[in-house]
Amino acid sequence: DQQVKQNSPSLSVQEGRISILNCDYTNSMFDYFLWYKKYPAEGPTFLISISSIKDKNEDGRFTVFLNKSAKHLSLHIVPSQPGDSAVYFCAASGSRSNDYKLSFGAGTTVTVRA
C-alpha cells in the first residue's frame, strides 16, 4: 500500500503561470519531505525539502508547503517556465534511524505550454 500518493498523474500549465503539485501521505511517522524532478532518460534530481517543524520552505521559484494535520504537502512553481516540464516525485521519510528509508509517490508529469 502506497504511503505517499500523488493523485494527479499530469498537469498542464501555461508559461508564466503558477504550477501547483499536490502530495498526500498516510504514515504519521513521516516528518521529512522532499521533491525530486526527473527529465526523460535521466535520474531524479533533488529539488527542495521541508522538515515537519516548518510549514513552508522557499527556494527561488519553488515553494513547498506542509500541512501536517492534513498529511498534505504541495509544491508551487512560480512562474512556470518551459524547462520545468518534467516528472515531479514527492518523497517522505521519518527522522529516526529505522524510518530513514524514502517512500516515493508515483509522480506528476508537468507540461508547461508556451
Q: Return residues touching other proteins (CB under 8 A).
A: 2, 4, 6, 9, 31-32, 34, 36, 41-46, 49, 51, 89, 91, 93-95, 97, 99-102, 104-107
Taking the least distance from each CB to other proteins, the nearer of 81 and 95 is 95
Residues 6+ apart with CB under 8 A from 43: none
Dist CA 79 CA 17 (whole Å): 5
Q: Counting every residue, how long is the chain? A: 114
Q: Least distance to other proteins from the beta carbon of 42, Å? A: 5
Taking the least distance from each CB to other proteins, the nearer of 5 and 79 is 5
Cell of 62: 519553488
